[in-house]
Chain A
Amino acid sequence: MEWVRAKTVAEALSQAGPHSRFVGGGLSLSLLMERGVDRPERLIDLSELPLRTIEGRPGELRLGSQVRLAALIQDPMVQSLAPLVRTIAGQIATPAIRNHATLGGELLERTRCPLFRDPANVRCGKRLPGSGCAVLEGATYAGAIFGASAACVAPSASELAVGLAAMSAAVTLHSPEGLGERTLPMLDLYVEPGVHPERDHVLRPTELLMSVTVPVQPQRHFGYARLAESPLSPMASAAVMLEQREQRIVDARIILGGLSTRPWRASASEQLLFGQRPSDELLEKVAAAVLAGSKARSDSRHLPALAKQVVREALRRAVEEHAAHRR
């Protein structure tokens, strides 16, 4: 086990490999290492890299990947230009955790599936590729109702990704392998488990998440809703973007979290909103439509109702947000 205090991004990347991990706040990683779930050989400390800035640029806000969640919550630019980020970050985990956790760490946090986090369970394809899935083989756990495969039902963990996807944010990745820098839409960062549940996202082992760019979009309004059993275990969340012109919805985005193997875009539901005026009936219809493509098992038969509930509530908040701005 080796600890590398990287002085530059280039140094951090040159030290990275399949058995290394980048360390931001190190919180989730500590927990996984303590339990023996993750056993990296090299830890690359990013705390000296210049990735802790929040930068206002024309039409966008750039958030460094090493910005701490507490800093996101307190930042006046985030508050005025991307209030949804503040709303979501303020509900993640606990205040003490938010003081140390970083944006990048939250976006790339591994699943909270208890069978993944239990080293005594040897049937977890996310941890031990090709070993199957204890949940699908009968262990009691709800798992995801969207995007699950025959190999994995583990829900994705990030809450900020749900909101940032609704805000059409992009992530910038840096790699030494001739790829240089690439920028992806937030949603394209994540992958469904398919037959390779060991992969959560498209980042290569030698690639570093540098920043998140959030477009400033005053004409759009956002809503977020979340149901949680405890501070560390959100069960379902939804973030909604609505753009209205003369009362009619001209653009919309609905993203679900907690119930899916990756942040989940409910495109069919979005379609129902175009050209419509918001009403209770419409929101109800749209919320019901999010279940298109969902697949509940006997242990997750309660989740479709939660999905509808968070979407309905997030929609309602986005509509209220719009109404408040018109006044």
Chain B
Amino acid sequence: MTERRADSELSRRQFLVASAASAALAGTAAAQPSPAEPAAPLTPRAGEVLLRITVNGQAAQRAIDPRLSLLDLLREQLDVTSPKRGCEDGTCGSCTVLLDGQRVPACLVPAALCEGQAITTVEGLALEGVLSPIQAAFVRHGATDCGFCTPGQVVAAQAILRESWGPDDAAVRAALCGHDCACGRLPQIITAIQDVRHR
């Protein structure tokens, strides 16, 4: 974790609490977004920006602090906790989500930039309780160990299936740049991805 400065500035935690409170005041639940959520317009207060996004197929809107990262929006306000906070500089890959189908590090993407976009996390990959092919391959090949980074790795693997990388293992390894697995499961992850690619 990176050191943060504890000084006169509003800390991230304080402003998260403040933003969550403002969401509650505006009549929105800080829970899983639901399709039944009212489309009634939210009025952002001074210093806030209105954000409408779709998370795993469900529409959500929030008035947010412009400094909020996509990762904190998901974890702290929408209760989507599979993307994890790891390195905070984009090298560990544990916060990876799909933004309009493209994998991005959610910890570095300002949430306010995602207006009108669709976000998919690992929660959105399984359909009606049936694992997606890449999830099943991770299980089959023992591609998870401690599990902390697994949601980000699975989302990245899902994206890699649609990206244009070469056919060999070395290409998949290059595609996984930015997913350091401290448990050493990179070979199994590569096998799982290759398995689905060759099916």
A residues adjacent to B (C-beta < 8 A): 1-3, 5, 23, 25-31, 33-36, 39, 43, 45, 47, 70, 74, 93-97, 99-100, 118-120, 230-232
Contacts and interface: CB of A to CB of B under 8 A. Distances in A.
Contacts of B42: none
Contact of B3 (A26, A99, A120): A120
Contacts of B112: 3, 43, 45
B177 A95 contact: yes
B9 A231 contact: no
Contact of B90 (A1, A2, A23, A232): A232
17 contacts: A1-B67, A2-B66, A3-B66, A3-B112, A5-B115, A26-B110, A30-B108, A43-B110, A43-B112, A74-B164, A93-B90, A95-B103, A95-B163, A95-B175, A96-B93, A97-B178, A99-B103
Interface string B156-185: 100000011000000000010110000000
A231 B113 contact: no
A39 to B, nearest CB: 7
B155 to A, nearest CB: 9
Contacts of B7: 36
A95 B178 contact: yes
Contact of B102 (A34, A39, A93, A99): A99
B2 interface: yes
Interface centre among A2, A26, A70, A231 (most CB of B within 10 A): A26
Interface centre among B3, B88, B90, B91 (most CB of A within 10 A): B90
Nearest to B163: A95
Contact of B4 (A23, A35, A74): A35
B57 to A, nearest CB: 21
Contacts of B96: 96
Given A31-B88, A100-B99, A231 B4 contact: no
B15 to A, nearest CB: 9
Contacts of B103: 95-96, 99
Contacts of A231: 91, 177-178
B104 A100 contact: yes
B5 A35 contact: yes
B82 interface: no
B69 A34 contact: yes
B182 to A, nearest CB: 14
A290 B3 CA distance: 38
B47 to A, nearest CB: 5
A97 B108 contact: yes
A1 B178 contact: no
B197 interface: no
Contacts of A43: 66, 110, 112
Interface string B1-38: 01111010100100000000000000000000000000
B35 to A, nearest CB: 26
B68 to A, nearest CB: 10
Nearest to B48: A3
